[in-house]
A and B are shown apart, each in its own frame.
Chain A
Amino acid sequence: MTEESLVGAGRRAHGPAVAAAKARRWGAFYYAEQVLRVMKGYTWSILMYSVGQPVAYLFAMGVGLASLVDTGNAAIGGVSYLVFIAPALLVSAAVMTAANEFTFPVMAGFKWRRTYFGPHASPLTPGQIAAGHIMAVTLRLVLQSALYFAAVVLFGASPSEWGWAGILVATLTGLAFGLPLMAYSASITEDKGQFALVMRFIVMPLFLFSGTFFPLDNLPPAVRWVGWISPIWHGTELGRVLSFGYGEPPLLTVLHVAVLAGMAVTGWVLTRRRFALRMGQ
């Protein structure tokens, strides 16, 4: 070690006042950058998942299953079965990804790898750490949904010119489901396999009973409520309106947006509070 390298031969760091001001302003982005760097290590598996899954589902459901179910049935809006389920698959895929990204990595941040506590000692605030994590996952949801939508287009399953907006709907639905789940993940101090239960007893039933493969009205009234409280149902229906002009009262469409946004915002507020509480102890 020479004296020179000790002092730093090159530029000096800016002072604490500048660092604090920058962090106050951009802190969430700085943390998002970190999460994206970690995701970059998994680029291939993320890509395979994002491309492979839609192709497999669209092929199996839209081509295989559709030959039995089709077609032009008024109950599914008078479109082909493939067109009917494409928005549902798009939305469900986003929810599955969100269910993964807002559970295990949160637990890793607080407990398994303690990765949240590194940035916590820097000028970043707990709220910014939460926000950065969310921003990175949101970006992943947008990219994944865009790839999914491209596959839908290739299968000729998005008749309306507004179909692309399904990318945003899927992302919003992912957040509507994922952010309340993130708040829950942040509150877990001991791993007792809760996440496996969430996947089995919440994500899967919602996936099956949210009007995904058949209209919600086909279910007995006793279980229809599952759909009404399910972000997947609201997202799917919204996606269908955009994709092929699914006939529903305009008020219901507004309700879908309101429910999804409401769940996402509530989840964000709870998450932020949880992070601040847990990191300030």
Chain B
Amino acid sequence: MHNHALTSSGMLTGDPQSGTVISAANLVKTYGDAAAVDGISFSVPAGESFGLLGPNGAGKSTTMKMIGGVTRRTAGQLSIMGLDPDTHGPEVRAHLGVVPQQDNLDEELRVRDNLLVYGRYFGLPMSYLKPKADELLEFAQLTDKARSKVDALSGGMKRRLTIARSLINEPRILLLDEPTTGLDPQARHILWDRLFRLKEQGVTLILTTHYMDEAEQLCDRLIVVDKGRIMAEGSPAQLIREHSTREVVELRFGSERNATIGAQLEGIGERLEVLPDRVLVYAHDGESALEQVSARGLRPLTSLVRRSSLEDVFLRLTGRSLVD
């Protein structure tokens, strides 16, 4: 069908015809008294790659599960392709490819059979599934493991198989909950490349990650979530611009002295962040900030001037460092 009504204002109406694939308003999920998700609103236009960033326990996976139609929301509105997952679970899930945070492969089946069986859940015929499974095994670099039991795979291989499985139905929306956790650098880069290509084909990506480089590479737009609420929203560049300075000076004085020296750095740059292992000086011009440090007679063991990253945004907004 041809889409006549694609306007920029139509992007936020929640109507799939006008290009919004997911819209959530005041999404809430409580477990007992505790709110895992506490009033989250966002909408994702078709073809965007949208990220959820946040510390452990922020409510990212819970949000993903509600979108994926496997967890009922406590309150709020949610629509995926114009459908409510609570009332149209199968229809919603038929649109999706899902990589859950925790692998749930069938360990008693062989690697290739995992893909075939999963494709059957979408009613796909074997004539389609067999070549597709081989193609996905190739992509996941598991071709030589096709006949192994899943039990015998390494953690990273299982992860790759889970990712391959999520593509078996050629979904137009992919939910990826920490997809590259446990992957080696090479496998991560291959996956990024693959996700890029899917994006080029117009596939909508929703992903959570703890890797800032991944978020910067893959996400057009992201929300920073903490304690079930949205702390900030925007493109990686926007977020960096709004919540950090252009440059950062990283100073290490040795773990004993970082805290005490923090006080002596007061007034340099726009903001200071004292962490157990280093002191961060946020400044528009890093080099001149570093000169001021030397001018005060302070001699850090190491110093480094770099551009601000999402890491800094994250630290600013949540008060927590991602790399522990």
When A and B form their complex, what is the total count of cross-chain residue pairs whose Cβ atoms lie within 8 Å? 129
Closest residue on chain A to residue B149 by CB atoms? A41
Decide yes or no whether A125 CB sits under 8 A from chain B. Answer: yes
Decide yes or no whether B260 CB sits under 8 A from chain A. Answer: no
Interface residues of chain A: helix, strand, loop or mixed (majority): helix
Distance between Cα atoms of A251 and B16 in the complex (Å): 61
Q: Judging by beta carbons under 8 Å apart, are A119 and B121 in contact?
A: yes
Residues of A within 8 A of B123 (CB): 14, 18-19, 21-23, 26, 30, 123
Contact string against B for A residues 107-131, beta-carbon threshold 8 Å, 1 for contact and 0 otherwise:
0000001110111111111000000
Say which size band chain A's interface belongs to.
Answer: 35 or more
Residues of B within 8 A of A11 (CB): 127-128, 131
Q: Judging by beta carbons under 8 Å apart, are B90 and A13 in contact?
A: no
Interface residue count for B (Cβ, 8 Å)? Answer: 45
Given contact pairs A8-B135, A37-B109, A279-B70, A16 touches B104 in the complex (Cβ within 8 A): no
Decide yes or no whether B294 CB sits under 8 A from chain A. Answer: no
Decide yes or no whether B72 CB sits under 8 A from chain A. Answer: yes
Q: Judging by beta carbons under 8 Å apart, are B105 and A118 in contact?
A: yes
Measured CB to CB, the closest approach of chain B to A73, in angstroms, equals 48
Q: Judging by beta carbons under 8 Å apart, are A123 and B120 in contact?
A: no
Q: Judging by beta carbons under 8 Å apart, are B197 and A6 in contact?
A: yes
Residues of A within 8 A of B132 (CB): 8, 10, 13
Q: Which of B104, B131, B171, B201 has the most CB of A within 10 A?
A: B104
Given contact pairs A23-B121, A23-B122, A30-B123, A125 touches B89 in the complex (Cβ within 8 A): yes
Distance between Cα atoms of A1 and B72 in the complex (Å): 39
Residues of A within 8 A of B113 (CB): 37
Residues of A within 8 A of B124 (CB): 13-14, 19
Given contact pairs A117-B104, A123-B122, A279-B70, A12 touches B117 in the complex (Cβ within 8 A): no
Decide yes or no whether A189 CB sits under 8 A from chain B. Answer: no
Decide yes or no whether B291 CB sits under 8 A from chain A. Answer: no
Q: Judging by beta carbons under 8 Å apart, are B91 and A20 in contact?
A: yes
Decide yes or no whether A34 CB sits under 8 A from chain B. Answer: yes
Residues of A within 8 A of B172 (CB): 16
Residues of B within 8 A of A20 (CB): 90-91, 93-94
Q: Judging by beta carbons under 8 Å apart, are A8 and B122 in contact?
A: no
Closest residue on chain B to residue A129 by CB atoms? B121
Given contact pairs A13-B170, A19-B169, A34 touches B106 in the complex (Cβ within 8 A): yes
Distance between Cα atoms of A11 and B122 in the complex (Å): 15
Q: Judging by beta carbons under 8 Å apart, are B121 and A122 in contact?
A: yes
Residues of A bordering B, CB below 8 Å: 1, 5-14, 16-24, 26-27, 30-31, 33-34, 37-38, 41, 113-115, 117-125, 279-281
Residues of B bordering A, CB below 8 Å: 68, 70-72, 81, 89-91, 93-96, 98, 100, 102, 104-109, 113, 117-118, 120-124, 127-128, 131-132, 135, 138-139, 165, 168-172, 194, 197, 201
Question: 3 closest A-B pairs (Cβ-Cβ)?
Answer: A22-B123, A122-B121, A20-B94
**Can you pick out 19 interface pairs between chain A and chain B where the beta carbons lie within 8 Å of each other?**
A6-B139, A6-B194, A6-B197, A8-B170, A10-B128, A13-B128, A14-B124, A16-B81, A21-B123, A26-B123, A38-B106, A117-B100, A117-B104, A118-B165, A122-B121, A122-B122, A123-B89, A280-B70, A280-B72
